[in-house]
Structure 1
Amino acid sequence: MRPVPFTADPLKVTSTPLASLRGVRRRRGAVQALDGVDLALPAGQVTALLGVNGAGKTTAIEILLGLQPADAGEVTLFGRHPSDLEARRHIGVMLQQAQLPERLRVDELLALTRSWYPQPRSVADCVALGGLDGLLDRRYGRLSGGQQRRVQFALALCGRPKLLFLDEPTTGLDIGARQQVWRAIRSLVADGVGILLTTHYLEEAEALADRVVVLDAGRVRADGSVGAVRAQVAQRRIRCKSVVPADVVATWPGVRSADVIDGQLVVMAEQAESVLRCLLDADPRLGDLEVQRAGLVEAFVAMTATADGMTGSKQEAA
């Protein structure tokens, strides 16, 4: 792999991405985990990398972090190879699985992590961004799963990273803690930090992401803003109160699905007009009608649907 030329101060380069994959391929046994993937991570933006289990998200992240090599293509981190120490000093990482010394207190973990960096973030800032009030004197192993995730998030910020990798950061968090992480992410982005976010909560991607990249079976299926990704799927969501059974509506032409949710009939359709005419003909007293463009959830499901109608690839986890 040939990295792009390194400049004197890569962090001041705004016309090039902080990190990138270009035509990257990676095979793991019989599975083509990545198949010609292009991915660029700019400063001051949240890039949401979405895909079902086995789509290639973890492989892409590990290659960007230098944890495994690419079989082909170019990989750069601040203009250098991902294994370069100078480049790695400017990243923060929060992975799904973290092995931390359980006997250490939270303040000891912060002190240890901060000692690795020449100009670390202050303890007060780490506590504020991670929501660690009241946890500093607690042993890590005695914390709940959600509290441990908050500690891991704070540790990823200790080095004032210019690029932050967040792999399912809010899994296991309650609503309040999740909102705290969201506020911290928005604050970091406002300061120019680039963030790569993976999440199974599509509403999280919709709320935070400037850009969405959908991976399926190791290939990029969509790359653009949330609105642009939604626009690639010509579906409409129809909500109403109706006496027409959902299983009847599901058989109509152009209807992808029909369900009753919270007492309302919810229909996903390719075109709203024809379905609305059928609904009004079948139920003249239809009420509380609402028609919306499909959200990111529907777009994601449609893009990762296989020929047999099931979502996602059948590859092994990648």
Structure 2
Amino acid sequence: MNEAFPPVARLAGAVKHYDRLAALDGVDIMLHRGELLALLGPNGAGKSTSISLLLGLVRPDAGCAELFGMDPQRIEARRRIGVMLQSANLPPTLRVGEMLRLTASYYPDPRPLAESAELAGIGDLLKRPYGKLSGGQQRRVQFALALCGRPELLFLDEPTVGMDIDARQKLWAAMRALIAEGCSVVLTTHYLEEAEALAQRVVVLGHGRVLSEGSVDELRAKVALTRIRCVSDLDAEAVAHWPQVASASSIDGRLQVATAAAEHVVRRLLDTDPALRELEVQRAGLAEAFTELTRAPTLQEAA
């Protein structure tokens, strides 16, 4: 990521209403070259509307949306992007290879078909009709169509829905390869481990506003709780009443404790149960940070 160059995509004070519903309420988002930005938020947070504004599919009621410093509806900007939305209505009778060749022909400097197929992991599907593919295979084809034009900016909206673990890992590897080439990526996903594994920066949206922004580590740091797991005969209900313990439970024979004072609690656990074993101490992950940032009180404070 190089912030010395102008942003490749930007929302500035973006406002969008649908009737009386404020889908976006003054949102600022900026994306730099070679950066993967994850847009996170619960349903209705404004993620899809943000992408629609950046793609020029809808216009903001106030503020502005830019691609490469231009109006997103200009053809000069659109030729430099690739898009994979949550759903796609593609001709079911076209063979995958035919679909790739057709889509690539719309771009001035497309990737060779074999390269696009290899990146998306669809080399064995090129001769098959699109309509005969499984849901996960169709998603991989859609990914290939998004990257075949050699885009400088790639929009991926829930790209791994319907994929098995192996296909998802291969898609992650392809995203990393594209980032290494200097491509920028806007990713929306409900799989928080996906954002945690890939994103250089995360924007958390809620009720049409930016609730938090930063690296994964910076978002984790906003959650003070640490998770402690161990095998112990201690009663979870009793531990839950210890000072500085937020919660305690016993799951499958393992004691699980949440606390903002991990060192103090660990010492007491060891003192109280000398036979304690398999101790694990882990700071909050992105999933816990996301839950904390999007809980109702936070949204009320943002109002």
| Structure 1 length-normalised TM | 0.88
Q: What does residue 198 of structure 1 align with?
A: 188
1:15 equivalent in alignment to 2:11: no
CA deviation profile, 1:103-143 (whole Å, cap 9, x unmatched): 11101111110111122111011110110021011111110
Which residue of 210, 213, 220 maps to 1:223?
Answer: 213
Q: CA deviation at 1:261?
A: 4.5
Q: CA deviation at 1:289?
A: 1.7
In structure 1, the gaps of 5 or more residues are 1-11, 314-318
Question: Do 2:3 and 2:32's aligned partners in 1 also have CA atoms closer than 8 Å?
Answer: no
Question: Do 1:235 and 1:294's aligned partners in 2 also have CA atoms closer than 8 Å?
Answer: yes
Q: CA deviation at 1:98?
A: 0.8
Q: What does residue 52 of structure 1 align with?
A: 42
Rounded Cα–Cα distance in structure 2 between residues aligned with 1:67 and 1:257: 46
Distance 1:13 1:215, change over 3 A: closer
Q: What does residue 134 of structure 2 align with?
A: 144
Specify which structure has the bigger relative contact order, considering alpha-carbon pairs within 8 angstroms and separated by 6 or more residues.
1
Amino acid across the alignment from 1:84: R
Alignment of 1:28-47 (within 5 A): 28-47=18-37
SS in 2 for 1:134: helix
Distance 1:302 1:100, change over 3 A: same
Amino acid across the alignment from 1:148: Q
Amino acid across the alignment from 1:227: D
Q: CA deviation at 1:252?
A: 4.6
Q: How many residues align?
A: 299
Question: Do 1:26 and 1:70's aligned partners in 2 also have CA atoms closer than 8 Å?
Answer: yes
Which residue of 71, 80, 90 maps to 1:90?
Answer: 80
- Matched residues, percent identical? 59
Q: What does residue 269 of structure 1 align with?
A: 259
Q: CA deviation at 1:172?
A: 1.0
Rounded Cα–Cα distance in structure 1 between residues aligned with 2:278 and 2:293: 30
Q: CA deviation at 1:249?
A: 3.8
Q: What does residue 99 of structure 2 align with?
A: 109
Say what the alpha-carbon RMSD is for the aligned residues: 2.1
Rounded Cα–Cα distance in structure 2 between residues aligned with 1:122 and 1:270: 53
Distance 1:238 1:64, change over 3 A: same
Q: Which runs of 4+ in 1 moved over 6 A?
A: none
Which residue of 147, 151, 175 maps to 1:185?
Answer: 175
SS in 2 for 1:112: helix
Amino acid across the alignment from 1:182: W
Rounded Cα–Cα distance in structure 2 between residues aligned with 1:251 and 1:142: 58
Q: CA deviation at 1:58?
A: 0.6
Q: CA deviation at 1:282?
A: 4.9
Rounded Cα–Cα distance in structure 2 between residues aligned with 1:113 and 1:241: 56
SS in 2 for 1:285: coil
Q: CA deviation at 1:179?
A: 1.2
Q: Which one has a larger percent helix, Structure 1 or Structure 2? A: 2
Question: Do 1:223 and 1:229's aligned partners in 2 also have CA atoms closer than 8 Å?
Answer: yes
Rounded Cα–Cα distance in structure 2 between residues aligned with 1:103 and 1:295: 44
Which residue of 278, 288, 296 maps to 2:278?
Answer: 288
1:207 equivalent in alignment to 2:197: yes
**Which has the higher mean CA deviation after the structures are superposed, 243-252 or 296-305?**
243-252
In structure 2, the gaps of 5 or more residues are none
Amino acid across the alignment from 1:191: E
Distance 1:194 1:278, change over 3 A: same
Question: Do 1:52 and 1:312's aligned partners in 2 also have CA atoms closer than 8 Å?
Answer: no
SS in 1 for 2:156: strand
Q: What does residue 134 of structure 1 align with?
A: 124
| Structure 2 length-normalised TM | 0.92
Q: CA deviation at 1:248?
A: 4.4
CA deviation profile, 1:286-315 (whole Å, cap 9, x unmatched): 2222222211111111101114xxx999xx
Q: CA deviation at 1:254?
A: 4.0
CA deviation profile, 1:123-169 (whole Å, cap 9, x unmatched): 01111011002101111111000000000000001111000001111
Rounded Cα–Cα distance in structure 1 between residues aligned with 2:115 and 2:129: 20
SS in 2 for 1:197: strand
Distance 1:179 1:242, change over 3 A: same
Q: CA deviation at 1:255?
A: 3.7
Rounded Cα–Cα distance in structure 2 between residues aligned with 1:71 and 1:256: 44
Which residue of 270, 293, 297 maps to 1:303?
Answer: 293
Amino acid across the alignment from 2:158: E
